[in-house]
Amino acid sequence: MIRRRDVWMMVAVVAISLVASMAGPAVAGGRVVFGIGVGPVWYPYAYPYPYPYPYPYAYPPYSPPVVVQSPPPVYVQQEAPAAGSAPAQYWYYCQASQAYYPYVKECPAGWMQVVPQASPPAPR
């Protein structure tokens, strides 16, 4: 026959094991298992549990980087101008004011192109 004392002892063991199983670290995924086992242990856990984390991200297949080869640059060397064939430069003379540009900004009669001399005349 089961004694009252044995019933209270079993209730206390069940209550203590329930409280102990709830006190485990929930974030770390810890488990507390109480049990009575007979025979060898086949694996380190009381039962196999599912993987608690989501499956890893499936990466797309590897593709090599795109390499665009451009043709080498082409350099064209220009011929040097001859010593006597420098581009002609002109001075601009205003007959109305008898002065050269930029000393006179406006010329009502129009500008006259003049081949430059060794030294420009002094402005008036």
Residues 15 and 18: their CA atoms lie apart, in Å, by: 5
Is there a domain that residue 102 lies in?
yes
More confident: 73 or 53: 73
Which residues lie closer than 8 Å to 95 by C-beta, 6 or more apart?
109, 112
pLDDT computed for residue 117 by the predictor: 73
Higher pLDDT, 69 or 39: 69
Q: Which domain holds residue 102?
A: 89-117
Q: What is the pLDDT of residue 70?
A: 92
In a domain, 44, yes or no: no
Chain mean pLDDT for the chain? 76
Sign of CA dihedral 99, 103, 108, 116: positive
Domain count across the chain: 2
pTM: 0.28
Q: Is 95 within the bounds of a domain?
A: yes
Beta bridge partners of 114: 91
Whether the pLDDT of residue 27 is over 60: the answer is no
Q: Is residue 81 part of a domain?
A: no
